[in-house]
Every structure is written in structure tokens, then in C-alpha cells.
Structure 1
Amino acid sequence: MLIEFQVGNFLSFKETVTFSMVASDIDSQDAELDSNSVFTVNEELSLLKAAAIYGANASGKSNFAKAFGFMKWFVINSSTGIQITDDIDIEPFRLSTETEYSPSFFQVTFGLNNKIYKYAFGITTEKVHIEVLSCLNNQKEYDLFRRYGNDFKINLKSFKEGKGLEEKTKHNSLFLSVVAQFNGKISEQILKWFNKCQVISASGTHDNLYRNISLKFFESPLRRDIVQFIKDLDLSIYDIRMTKESISSETLPSAIPEELRKLILRSSNLRSSNEVSSVQTLHEKYNEKGEVVGTEKFELEENESEGTKKLFYLSGILLNALKNGHLIVIDELDAKLHPIITRQIVQMFNSNKYNSKGAQLIFMTHDTNLLSSRLFGSRLLRRDQIWFTEKNQQGATDLYSLVEYDIPEDASFESDYIRGKYGAIPFIGNFRQLLANQ
């Protein structure tokens, strides 16, 4: 469970911004919404199940997802995927002389195995400057280890798994990642937590980050739920099947150029299996009387809409998160989806019925219908579940929540946002002069 995420001096984030999934002490005047959208960790802490981030184009919404995605990637791969001679592929805020050579900062606070951990690091392209892992217990915080460059201070009582591994840690790798490679119990569990978090760019139909994951879920016991999920969304699909074909030089068409043939075979050899998966959707076929007389098979990639393809590739990840209480960050959740379907996905996370394990959904969107209470008769999101990104005149992104505004709970969030009351909207120039000289 995610409690808080901070990022600074990365892409469009100049100053360190804080995103929180901690439920605020507010009464949304909708007892059902409050009950469904919040889950209790302990007497002092309650967390949100979903959060939406709004903002103008190029305001930094996608950079938030990239920031969390980079932190995940670096934690998991820095000890094995980076050579000692490699630069760290990090991009600081480039529009200020104050930050271009300063470390980029990342910090996450999360719950794991009935404990709360805080993990942070600061890096440049050359090295890890600072790295800290601490634990919060009974409102007291203590370090498990603290690192400044090559200087390590390890709490041998609480993190003895790190003893003796300081010299095995490269200047451009994280100590936590190294300790996990040597089977450190705490560090290994933390890496697994990061690995279970999914960060998805859903602006297109699908991307390679989650296509293969989705296909694996379809081969798991989740298959039945995935098919039912698609059917429940009224996409006129009767069933979904998957077939596999082996790739070899003999199975490729003879007309394919030799260089392309080599590239395809080389790519397939890099996989654990040389099989390619093909997904088919089944639709009912009718006669002139409107009676079902059979089924027709469609190829997902060739015959289905972009929205249907996106839903299929998202479905396994969404359902797996709900089943196991995982975190998902989705950029442009609403792209290519009908507003009612987007709302239904959010409602599944904001639900005690479907989300009993504390799964969390953070998504970037332009869909203001989700802010409306009049359109569907009730609110979908509390004020603390609504966040905004906005750039200042120097091109730096600020991140803030609607809960920071002193407004009545019955305010029209949607119309007030469109009118600019909360900022985070585009400033349109004077188009009257655009073709004045033509």
C-alpha cells in the first residue's frame, strides 16, 4: 500500500512535490462514498483506494507516472542492469541553472508486512549521492541504513543483512538493490513490493510494458474473470480465446526481406519461448429473424476497436490488482474509453465489494465527467482523491490536492475546475490573429 510519494528535480518537477494517499479528515456528506473509498490501516492511518490527477497538456501529469516508474526501475535494476562504467539515465529539471547539476530526489512511504517503511535516494548521472531506508514504528522513525556516497551507516540490530555488502555496492547502484541480490530478507521484500506495482502508459491501445503481462494473466486462473469483465462492459463479445504459434525460419513468409527475417528471429530467441500469442474474440452470429445461429471469430489486433484492445490488455492487470491489493499507476486512463467505462473502472477500486484488499489506483485523466455529481446522481471522488498539476512561468510543475481548497462539499467540482477556479487548465491564446495576414 502506498502512503506517500515525493519527487524533485526530475523532468518538469523542480522543487520536491508530495503526493499523498492518506485520507484527510473530511466528511464528503456521502457516507457510502466515504466508506467505499477509504480503508483503515490502523487507528492513526487510513488510506485512499483511488486518486485522479488533472491538469493541462504538458503540465506534468505524465511526468508523475514517469517519476514513479523510474524509481521502480532503478530500485529493481540498478545492481544488475547497470555496469560500473555506465551513467545513470536520469534527467533533472533542465530549465534552471540551480538544478541542472543537482541530484534528483525520490522518496516513497509504503506499508509492507504490517510495517511502514520510508525509502529515499538522491542521484545524478554519475552516482548515488544519498540513500536512506527507515522504518516508522509507533510514530517513531529509525534508520535501517543511511548512505552518503560511499559512506554507509548500517543499523546492525534492524538491518544486519546489509553488513559487509558496502564494498560490493557500485557508486551508481543502490545499496538496497545489492542487498536484495544477496537474499537480504527485508530488502528482497521491498523489491518485490516495487515489482508488484504497475506503471502503465495507456494513451495508446497497449504498449510492450504490459502487453505480455496481460497475456500471462489470461493464461492464469484470472482468465474467467477477464472474459466476464469484458462481457460486463457490453462490448458484444461472447468469449475470448488465445492461440500460440511457434516462430521459425520455416514459418515466416518467404516474401519477408532477409534483414527483417533475421530481426524477427533474433527477437524471438531473446524470449523464454519462441511462441507468439494471438487473441481472438468470439461474437454471436444472427439470422434474418435475429436468432443466434453461431459465432464469428475476430482477431483482436485486426478486427476490434482501439478501445476494446486497450480494455483487454488492461483487464488482467486491473483484476489482479483488485484480487491481491496491489498498486497501479495509469497515465491517460480515459484515452479511447467511453466515460461510463472509465467511471466503472474507478468505481471498482472505490468499492468495498470489489476492492476488499486495499488495492490502489492512481490515474492521470482529462475526463471531467468523473468530477460531476449531477451527471450520475452521486460523487465518484472525494476532494482528497482529486489532484492537479500546473506549471509556473519558469516551466516547473506544482502538484496539489483539491482538499487544500476551503470549499463546500456540495460545490460543483467539474464546472469550477473548467472555469479555472482550481488552476491546472490550459491558457488559450488569441486565435483571432492566427490567420489575420493570410
Structure 2
Amino acid sequence: MMDDEAGHPSMLLAFRAENIYSFYDELDFSMEATAQAEEGVPRDVHWHQKGGRPLRVLPAAGVFGANASGKTNLLKALYGLREHVLFSFRSGDPSGGIHRHSFRLDPGAGEKPTRYEIDLVLNGVRHEYGVVMNDQHVLHEWAYRYPNGRAALIFERTCGKQVDIPAGKRTIGRAIERIARPNALFLSAAAAGKHPDLLPLYDWFGQNLKFAEASSRQARWAFTAQLLREDASREQVLALLRAADLGISDVRIRPPDPKVLERVRRAILILTGHEDDAEGFPDIDLTELGLVLSHRGAEEDVDFNVSEESLGTLVWLGIVGPVFDALEAGSVLLADELESSLHPTLAERIIGLFQDPEANPNGAQLIFSSHAPTLLGNATQSRPLGRDQVWFTEKLVNGRSRLYPLSDLSPRQEEAIGKRYLSGRYGATPIVSHEEFVEVARLIAAGGRK
């Protein structure tokens, strides 16, 4: 999100969590550049620190690992914090508990709290926000800002105790405290009470962290179609569709059936964070959106209905809208299995848009999961990602996920990272037995179909 005050982008720095989905132990994810950063990739983000240097922040990061190792769960954990912030107060049940996703493979995990922490630069000021919760209550919640490089408390809330608020903001803080519920975040209530120091933080969650994953594909189609309807965005989105070398020359949009419009409107509101997705996205068939894609023919363009398009074309149609939106707004796009049904070159091009300062002047960030070793690159080719932009997830024997960065393994600058990943040198690869697969095949062959 662009920083209107200082003219510099606001960007995500780090995310930590514990006892969420498959991560029983702490996960610690960072977008700050390391000494292994590739030249020209980190973005200098200026913040209000006397005599301090700008923070060097990465515009993209990829998470790689075996199936069911926790890649998607990292993205879901980050997106889940957004959902708590935006909706725990206005959509939560006053008499209910807290809906959380604690680790399920340990019987004691349900008694262990879930913790989230996030660091970001917002309006030229570094912020930290964190919350600890169980199934019933918010146990601990806090927010700090660093206006001069030193921590300044915005608030701290402890279960069963009064909220600690700085002297100058106690009047509005106490008013918010009176409406806050034990099962809702103080940050959420503060937005309803228009707390001046917390509204920007709340708004950051509302305008960032879009999640491109399988369940949102229909909503993303609707979002792309909406952008193609609007004069301000049509040409840029159309250019992204054409650039993919799918043969698309133009897109026309027939007016959708009025009965479809309400479902389309709600899907877009959920996707953009204006409505709770507790009930899921409304069902929208792509054919209901009225999209007609023209392809270059030998003599003239030929119209195709979307039902006649390839899966790769439909996947691209669902990702270009969120990519355009992130680049325009300077927001964070979470993309699950970025390369799914796309040629690896197209996935590389998406990463390249975020990596290029000219294409991404507003400081947008891309965090994605992937299986594709081509996105890791090798010594003989240009790497889509730098060595400090690669993370791995691994499933341990007790079912817990572990997250770790490639930079911890100190890879050499010329290292063939893609080949070494496939060979298991970094871990994060499935442990499978050829003999076990063969034995299963023998049993199938012997039993036949009953």
C-alpha cells in the first residue's frame, strides 16, 4: 500500500505464528533482505528513524516443499490473521467463542493458545502487532509503533485486566474498551471507534493480503471481468491477457443476467475484504459473466466463449485481475501454487513484475507457494528469485510443519538451486518408496475390479 505521507511504499516485513493449522511450533517468516540478496532486488523503504538507514525489503518470496508439508498453511495463517482483524468485532457472535485452526494431530494442541505477530512499515513508521487467543478469549493483544526508531506503545490488552493505553489517548481508548468483547480483537473494535492510531493498521489489513487460491477462482474471474468493464483499468488488464501469448486479441463483455449480478457483487466484496467469507464464496459459473474472448485468426479475429478455452487460459484470466490490483495499490498478493496449470515462463513473468521497480513502483509484494523447481533457477540461468527469497516447508514425523529459509543453508551464489532442491539437498521433498508403489500396483492388479 502506498505511503501517501512520505511518498514511500508501506510493506510487510515479517510474520510469526504458532499453533495454527499444521504449524504447532513457531513459524518465523521474513521479507527483509539478507546479505545474500541479489543486487537491485530489495526495495529501500524509508521510515521515521533518526539517522537510521532505510529497511531493505523484498518484493517477492516463494515457498517450496512436498505436498501437505505446510506451504498453503503458511499463506492461510497470514490470511487468517486478516480475517480476525477485519471481522472478529463486526461479524463475530457476542456470545460465542473464537473460531481458530489449531494443530489437530496432538490432543493437547487444543489447550495451547494460537499466536500471531506481524511487522510492517506503514505511513513511514514501523509497526508491530500481535495477538494470542484460545477458543474462548483473546488472552493478550498489543500494538507498537516506532516513530523515531524506539518503541512507542499504542495499546496492550491482557485477559482479565484493563487495557494499557498511552496517556494522550486514554479517553478514546476507554470508550473502545467498553465496547470490546472478550472474543473479539481490540484492533477490530478500535476501527469501529475510529481510533486515529489504529485505523491505519486496520485499513492495511483491509486493503492488503488478497488470497489467490482454488476456492477464490470464481471470484477472481468476476474481479477480472469487473476490471475489464471499467475504463480506468481495461487497457492494462487487457494488455496482461495479451502478453501471455494465449492468442487473445480482445475481450468483450455481454451484460450479465441481473440475477447473477448480486452473486458477482458479493464475491468481489469478499475477495476485496469488504465482507466476511464465513459462508464461502457464492457459486458463479464463468459463462454467467458474459465474457467473450477474441483470438487472432488467419484473416480476422474469431470469438470464443469461455467454455471453449483451455484451463491455462482460464487460470491466467483469474490471476491477472489480482496481479493488476496488487501492483496498482501496492498491496500484498498471496498466491497458492502459482504455477498451477500455467507454463513456468508465465509464472516467472508474474514474479518478474513484482521484482521490477519500474513495473512495481508502489511496493507491491508477492508471496506464493510452488512445486516448480524452474522458479528456483540454476547456476547457468538467471534466477527468478534470489537466495534470500526462497523458503521451504517440511513435514516432520509427528505431523508438524517446519518452515526454514534457503539462506540458512548458505547456498553459494553460483549454486544450481533447482537441481539441488530436486535431489533433496535442502530437504523439503517427499519421502516416497518406489517399492511401496509397486506393491500397491501388484495388489490392484491381483484383485482386479470387484
So what's the TM-score if we normalise by structure 1? 0.87
1:395 aligns with 2:399: yes
Give 3-state SS (helix, strand or coil) of 1:166's partner.
helix
Q: Which has more helix, going by share of residues?
A: 2
1:162 aligns with 2:166: no
Percent identity, aligned pairs only?
27
Q: How many residues align?
A: 407
Instruction: Choose which of 228, 236, 239 in structure 2 pairs with 1:218.
Output: 228
Moved more, 216-225 or 48-57: 216-225
Give 3-state SS (helix, strand or coil) of 2:236's partner.
helix
Partner of 2:277: none
Instruction: Choose which of 24, 32, 38 in structure 2 pairs with 1:22.
Output: 32
Q: Which has more strand, going by share of residues?
A: 1
1:176 aligns with 2:187: yes
Unaligned segments of structure 2, at least 5 residues: 1-10, 47-52, 270-283
Q: In the TM superposition, what whole-angstrom CA distance separates every residue of 1:311-335 from its partner, at most 9, and x where no partner exists?
A: 1221121122122311111111110
Which 4+ residue blocks in structure 1 deviate beyond 6 angstroms?
Answer: 268-273
Cα 1:344/1:247, change in 2 over 3 Å: same
- CA apart distance, 1:269: 10
- CA apart distance, 1:271: 8.4
Q: Report if the CA contact (8 A) 2:379-2:417 is conserved.
A: no
Structural mapping, 1:165-314, within 5 Å:
165-203=176-214, 207-220=217-230, 221-247=232-258, 277-286=289-298, 292=299, 294-300=300-306, 302-314=307-319
Partner of 1:417: 421
Structural mapping, 1:25-424, within 5 Å:
25-26=35-36, 28=38, 34-35=39-40, 37-42=41-46, 43-151=53-161, 152-157=163-168, 161-203=172-214, 207-220=217-230, 221-247=232-258, 277-286=289-298, 292=299, 294-300=300-306, 302-373=307-378, 377-424=381-428
Give 3-state SS (helix, strand or coil) of 1:119's partner.
strand
Distance in structure 2 (CA, Å) of the matches to 1:271 and 1:332: 21
Distance in structure 1 (CA, Å) of the matches to 2:113 and 2:208: 25
- CA apart distance, 1:226: 0.7
Give 3-state SS (helix, strand or coil) of 2:115's partner.
strand
Distance in structure 2 (CA, Å) of the matches to 1:92 and 1:368: 31
Q: Report if the CA contact (8 A) 1:202-1:310 is conserved.
A: no
Give the letter aligned to residue 291 of structure 2: V
Cα 1:235/1:165, change in 2 over 3 Å: same
Q: Report if the CA contact (8 A) 2:222-2:267 is conserved.
A: no
- CA apart distance, 1:417: 0.9
Q: Report if the CA contact (8 A) 1:201-1:332 is conserved.
A: no
Q: Report if the CA contact (8 A) 2:254-2:291 is conserved.
A: yes
- CA apart distance, 1:373: 3.2
Cα 1:84/1:380, change in 2 over 3 Å: same
Q: In the TM superposition, what whole-angstrom CA distance separates every residue of 1:110-161 from its partner, at most 9, and x where no partner exists?
A: 1111111111111122111111111124442232101112421112336764
- CA apart distance, 1:70: 0.9
**RMSD value, Cα:** 2.4
Q: In the TM superposition, what whole-angstrom CA distance separates every residue of 1:408-431 from its partner, at most 9, and x where no partner exists?
A: 211110111111111100000233
Give 3-state SS (helix, strand or coil) of 1:59's partner.
coil
Partner of 2:273: none
Distance in structure 1 (CA, Å) of the matches to 2:267 and 2:157: 37
Q: Report if the CA contact (8 A) 1:203-1:333 is conserved.
A: no
